[in-house]
Amino acid sequence: MPLPNRKADESHDEFIERCMSDPVMVKEFPDAAQRRAVCESQAKVSAHEHLNLVCEPGSITIEAAADDGEKASLPRFSMVAYTGGPMRVAGWWHSVIVDLAGL
């Protein structure tokens, strides 16, 4: 399901209107409030930005970058999603380890 992208010359309101009425968005997000939240999130991403995902065992890096060699000062985000080690999960007496090979 490709999400609509905001065009460079498109205002916020124009994009929201187009996104809310997009047939794929209506099908994938029949609840208008949820669809609006997704459209608002997409409106914040300019037409020249994209998302790079780099996955390695035990970590994920998400980095926003500018296209066409543009140099932009963009926020960065990094986190360790799961290292494969024991986790302390509320409601469980013992540590939990997820066998990622079996997922």
* Predicted confidence (pLDDT) per residue in 15-60, tens digit: 999 999 999 899 988 999 989 988 888 888 654 454 444 445 555 5
Provide the pLDDT confidence category of residue 62 given band limits of 50, 70 and 90.
Answer: low
Task: Give the global pTM.
Answer: 0.45
| Type of residue numbered 56 | E
> What CA–CA distance (Å, rounded) separates 30 from 58?
35
The two tokens of residue 42 are 């997409």
Q: Which residues pair with 51 in a beta bridge?
A: 64
Four-residue CA torsion sign, 24, 27, 28, 34: positive
Portion of the chain with pLDDT greater than 70, in percent: 62
